[in-house]
Structure 1
Amino acid sequence: MYPFLRLTKTIINGIHQNLKGNTLDITDTSEIKLIANINDIDNYLEMNNGRILTLFDLGRTDFAIRTGLGKKLLEKRWGLVVAGSTIQYRKRVRAFDKVTIKTHLKAFDERWFYIEQTMWANGKPCSHALLRTGVTNIKTGKVVETSEVMQTLGHGDLQMPLNDWVKAWADADKLRPFPTVEDEKI
């Protein structure tokens, strides 16, 4: 089940941080803290890999709220979409571990924002993800160009080109075949 209570807590905390003046610049790193609870653990007694990706959603939510993007999403009737991701798992997260999720904007091109996220348990890095994300127009479903989003956020001149490993991943992902109806043979 999706962690709606944690999502609500993340939204309230992000708004509260903004009201206290603890906003983030678009180039800053968001950090949220939580405890790995029993609902996060799988039959191997560690945090489920799918749950890690879901909890990364919360990190991106905090980042959006604290950078002002969340407010602009509501004003402009925009949404967020994940168009691709890659993740590495290195250390286990066990029940009741203290977890920190760090989120920051790594790069962007004309269409996509590349978000880097890490999960730390008890002060040690456990997983690392790179996500290709976009801002969408809710009415049309089309991706809004990053230049328009950055202009709306007051960062129209900011450039964050893809570094070598982000570019290599993005280029490799373009080569990946996506299944078609013709591929489905029964």
Structure 2
Amino acid sequence: MYPYLRYTKSVVDAVVANKKGQPLELDQVSEVTVRCSITDIDPMFEMNNGRVLTVYDIGRTDFIIRTGLAKQLLKQRWGMVVAGSTIQYRKRIRLFDKVTIKTQLVGMDERWLYLEHSMWVKGKPCSSVLLRTGVTAGGKVIETAKVLKVLGEKAWDTPTEPWIQDWIESDKTHRWPPMG
């Protein structure tokens, strides 16, 4: 089951943080803390790999609310889509572990926003995911320049790390549709 209560709490917390004058700039890192619960675990008493991706939704939502993007999504009647991902698991997250989710914008091109999420327990990284996300209007991904303009931001000038650029390039050669 989707963690609706935890998700709703994170939305309320992000809205309250903005009202308290704690918004984020696009180049800042969002941090949200959750606890691994009984509904998150698999038979090995660790967070299920599918649940990891679902819990990352909480971090992404905090980031888009606190940067002001969520407000513009509603105002402009836009949506947001995940169009690709790559994930690494390095350390198990056990039942009742306190987990910090960090989210940051790590790259941008004409069409896509690249977000990196990571989960940390006791100061140690457990997993990370790189996402290709896009803002949509009428079911189509719109240019990031338009998104930046409504956010009152100038062009993104932070260089994309080489490993991210390599992933972007390699994904262009990924076979689609998959072999059936």
Is 1:143 the equivalent of 2:132?
Answer: no
Partner of 2:120: 120
Residue 81 of structure 1 contacts residue 134 of structure 1 at CA under 8 Å; is this kept in 2? Answer: yes
- The 5-angstrom pairing of residues 147-162 of structure 1 reads 147-162=145-160
Take 1:178 and 1:46, find their aligned partners in 2: how far apart are those partners? 33
1:121 Cα shift?
1.3
1:38 Cα shift?
0.6
Is 1:65 the equivalent of 2:51?
Answer: no
Partner of 2:2: 2
What is the CA deviation profile of residues 30-49 of structure 1, one whole-angstrom value per residue up to 9, with x for unaligned ones?
A: 00001100100001111001
Unaligned runs of 5+ in 1: none
**Taking structure 1 as the reference length, what is the TM-score of the superposition?**
0.93
* Identity between Structure 1 and Structure 2 (%): 54
What is the CA deviation profile of residues 95-120 of structure 1, one whole-angstrom value per residue up to 9, with x for unaligned ones?
A: 00010000000010000000011100
Residue 109 of structure 1 contacts residue 161 of structure 1 at CA under 8 Å; is this kept in 2? Answer: no
Letter in 1 for 2:80: L
SS in 2 for 1:175: coil
Partner of 1:49: 49
Unaligned runs of 5+ in 2: none
Letter in 1 for 2:168: A
Residue 109 of structure 1 contacts residue 162 of structure 1 at CA under 8 Å; is this kept in 2? Answer: no
Partner of 1:17: 17
How many residues of Structure 1 are paired with residues of Structure 2 in the alignment?
180
1:160 Cα shift?
3.1
Residue 33 of structure 1 contacts residue 98 of structure 1 at CA under 8 Å; is this kept in 2? Answer: yes
Give the ranges of 4+ consecutive aligned residues of structure 1 lying more than 3 Å apart after TM superposition: none
- The 5-angstrom pairing of residues 98-137 of structure 1 reads 98-137=98-137
SS in 1 for 2:117: strand
**Taking structure 2 as the reference length, what is the TM-score of the superposition?**
0.96
Aligned-pair Cα RMSD in Å: 1.1
Residue 46 of structure 1 contacts residue 93 of structure 1 at CA under 8 Å; is this kept in 2? Answer: yes
